Structure 1
């Protein structure tokens, strides 16, 4: 079943690659302006508010865009994954200390799914576990020991201190999940879990798990672009036969789908993007080049100082000298126009983000199936709790 779903998504993504494999931030106009005039006219007729409303209603957006991009209707259906529901056991009071509400929902649901799927004889291995929040719940609700691998010593110390103070059977090990040390941690009778381990980190868990014949793995993948490879290297035999060539920018695309933000956060994002796009146009004009100088992240408080202050800050970061006769209002208006174009380009890309994410997750699922694991893939929590809500569970066949 997973192989056919993968092949269907792969085929449709390849057919429609023109509509999603580009940078909305760097687009001065729609890439399809000349080739798909009806789609361009439809986008031109949308207000910014209508664009934002459609992003919140992917089903309606699919209905409207399928007129111009026929592959979208089938892609939307193929990207729907089953909700994996399970009863969540009661946790000891105070176990959620230091964990916000959304994160707590993710942790309790993923731990319950893991425990229901396979209770390990050899204990739990928490991969890239931070302070061991997931491990806390696993050992408290199953009574099985947890080994937590974490790169930052301070997080290991904090997690071990909490576990010791609350009599939780947890052992923290400071180490790199990509190093030979991590190889030694994986045992056959374990169940390894990873909540939002990035890129190569969760891939390494899968490949090492296969090598050590680990009994079970439960992962919620994240940050597919954090990999040492320049372009995506397929994991399964089917993905290695795909015609898709995915750059790190392409792999970032699913991550641009975020939890619905409050009005204040939306306003800050819009203002910051207008500032960045305005400065981009200014910088390229001054240098008479289309080369873009990447600007680091900013403190939101800087936005309240206005566009001119932002330009001076950005220029200082990039060691640029700004002329004294700049009309900042004019360049900000250019940034505001560019923001609307970017949002409309992103509206088209929007419906390809989840299918691409599902394609990547299916590649991981197929890797495990090829190694004789039973695999299931689905959503472990609501998108409102995290847009990275896909879980892959693999269990060694008996």
Structure 2
């Protein structure tokens, strides 16, 4: 039994037993679902809830009084991997934010690590999956690599290709859908596949295509686990299938509910968004005469700078409802105030399982690669201040003994 399989087995059992903690949808709840946690949760005001929720270490220690399994070794952080030696910004990186550039540099710093053949053979072809404008590939090409970048946006491909030609790099863009059958043919055995923040179904296809092609080396940082083709996550590994948590899209969103950057303005916007979403939910229950939660999609934060009535108009349009001619905003917002504290109390508990669920998803992918004959390394490639999506799966096929 590998280290990954041992950890995965125990983590699966812990998460299954704790399902009643993390599987609730806070907006659908009308009361606290835990009798034992109700007294300490109700004892906190909103400011105390916010402060505790934003400090993961303190929050874990607090909840660990009632849920000691959260403090077991199976929830321990993953090891830190390589970091870039410097974050110097070349002229072509203009327009890339500082945190994004740090992520790119740190990811690139790990490509030639982990016993990679790239360290011995810098010309080993690299396939950059879901490349965007190809910032990562461009950096690797400047280090001498032969880069092929796959991206579905023709505009981004054109911009990336123009930069590659301007810098005279060995960097080619292929404009196609990563979910198409033709995308699978881009994977070769003598190749390194890289994917920085590939979302949901895209990173699943990356792993499946690479394993089928026997691609020599892989480096993947997953993102947006909920963006899958089915209603529930289908584990890749045999052990994952045996311990399937049957994670639906709502549960798959939980690992993503962590903000690193912010400040007072961002905090106020989050507070306002939560209030308006809840106020609209109160209103739609009256409009539809259905006492069930109606989720709204993500929306531009600029919408929050208008009035609540305008927000209701947008929301009704999205959900195919007829907005009332007059809206008593103060009434609906007052109802939302009452529900907002309930949501925050439930989220304080649910958020403590963000890491455990993400670790389960990462381990499933690592185990799948081990089953395909890869040696696998799992850790963090950049600092938390840069992004919460900082996990890196690296895999390599052992070279034949000569």
TM band (smaller chain): over 0.9
Query: Is residue 159 from structure 1 mapped to residue 160 from structure 2 by the alignment?
Result: yes
Cα gap change, 1:66 to 1:90, in 2 (>3 Å):
closer
Q: 1: distance between equivalents of 2:291 and 2:325?
A: 19
Figure out how many residues of one structure are paired with residues of the other and give that number: 391
Q: State the Cα distance separating 1:125 from its structure 2 match.
A: 0.7
Matched position secondary structure for 2:222: strand
Aligned to 2:364: 363
Aligned to 1:245: 246
Map residues 377-388 of structure 1 onto 2, 5 A cutoff: 377-388=378-389
Greater shift after overlay, 227-236 or 153-162?
227-236
Q: State the Cα distance separating 1:188 from its structure 2 match.
A: 1.1
Matched position secondary structure for 1:116: coil
Q: CA RMSD in A?
A: 1.9
Residue 126 of structure 1 contacts residue 135 of structure 1 at CA under 8 Å; is this kept in 2?
yes
Q: 1: distance between equivalents of 2:214 and 2:360?
A: 25
Residue 148 of structure 2 contacts residue 174 of structure 2 at CA under 8 Å; is this kept in 1?
yes
Aligned to 1:281: 282
Residue 161 of structure 2 contacts residue 171 of structure 2 at CA under 8 Å; is this kept in 1?
yes
Residue 14 of structure 1 contacts residue 243 of structure 1 at CA under 8 Å; is this kept in 2?
no
Aligned to 2:226: 225
Gaps of 5+ in 1: none
Aligned to 1:22: 24
| Normalised TM-score (structure 2) | 0.92
Q: 1: distance between equivalents of 2:185 and 2:28?
A: 45
Per-residue CA deviation, residues 145-192 of structure 1 (Å, 9 max, x unaligned), is: 100011111111000000100111100001111222212211111111
Per-residue CA deviation, residues 310-351 of structure 1 (Å, 9 max, x unaligned), is: 334433543324264x54212101112211111111110111
Aligned to 2:37: 39
Cα gap change, 1:221 to 1:243, in 2 (>3 Å):
closer
Gaps of 5+ in 2: none
Query: Is residue 96 from structure 1 mapped to residue 93 from structure 2 by the alignment?
Result: yes
Aligned to 2:13: 11
Q: State the Cα distance separating 1:69 from its structure 2 match.
A: 1.8
| Normalised TM-score (structure 1) | 0.93
Matched position secondary structure for 1:182: helix
Cα gap change, 1:369 to 1:272, in 2 (>3 Å):
same
Aligned to 1:73: 71
Cα gap change, 1:294 to 1:320, in 2 (>3 Å):
farther
Greater shift after overlay, 111-120 or 287-296?
287-296
Q: State the Cα distance separating 1:362 from its structure 2 match.
A: 0.6
Residue 284 of structure 1 contacts residue 290 of structure 1 at CA under 8 Å; is this kept in 2?
yes
Matched position secondary structure for 1:148: strand
Q: State the Cα distance separating 1:49 from its structure 2 match.
A: 1.5
Q: 2: distance between equivalents of 1:275 and 1:111?
A: 41
Q: 1: distance between equivalents of 2:56 and 2:88?
A: 36
